[in-house]
Amino acid sequence: MRRQRRNEILVKQVVDRLKTVRRERGLTQENVRFDTDLNIGRIESGRHSISLTTLADLCDYYNVPLEDFFKKIVTR
């Protein structure tokens, strides 16, 4: 079985951005889990890659367009 590719730097930046957005909105991980049924603690731990669908759902929940979410992520 082939391992899934993983960009550790990008994953860390996405995780950091998710934490920042959640905290800016004054939400706890528990709030997000209750409202979205997503295990945000597991996502924010960075141990697992987040799917684009889940990221889009979180951006929608946080009322942040995907374009704005990624503006603060630098990959180079």
Q: What is the pLDDT of residues 10-58, one digit of tens each?
A: 899 999 999 999 999 999 999 999 999 999 999 999 988 899 999 999 9
Report d(CA 54, CA 34) in Å as an integer: 15
State the maximum Cα–Cα separation within the chain, in Å, rounded to a whole number. Answer: 42
pTM of the shown model: 0.87
Euclidean distance between CA atoms 62 and 9, whole angstroms: 23
